[in-house]
Amino acid sequence: DAGVIQSPRHEVTEMGQEVTLRCKPISGHNSLFWYRQTMMRGLELLIYFNNNVPIDDSGMPEDRFSAKMPNASFSTLKIQPSEPRDSAVYFCASSQDSEQYFGPGTRLTVT
């Protein structure tokens, strides 16, 4: 199994630009999670989906952030417009039951 796949691995963009992060969960997993990791705040859950339906988006920082899961094998996290404080590593994780498996992450730098 290839594990959770994320793209791009690194993204550098200018403030105000739109950023789209992509995730392919492990085949057969029915839950998908987006996390953000920073030194100051650690690992924060942004949103999670179950069977492609958003269940809890209470961690999404503000309206500039949106996430979609159009099918069981693909999800996106979009930031529009991006700001320097959005700089972080964004992880996608998937699970079939309790165990969550993380992707390699996307390191986002907003200048």
- Does position 103 interact with other proteins (CB under 8 A)? The reply is yes
- Does position 95 interact with other proteins (CB under 8 A)? The reply is yes
- Does position 98 interact with other proteins (CB under 8 A)? The reply is yes
- Which one of residues 23, 105, 108, 110 is an interface residue with other proteins (CB under 8 A)? 105
Residue with tokens 């320097």: 84
Q: Which is nearer to other proteins, 19 or 23 (CB)?
A: 23
Q: In the complex, which residues of this chain contact other proteins (CB under 8 A)?
A: 4, 31, 33, 42-43, 45, 48, 50, 55-56, 91, 93, 95, 98-105
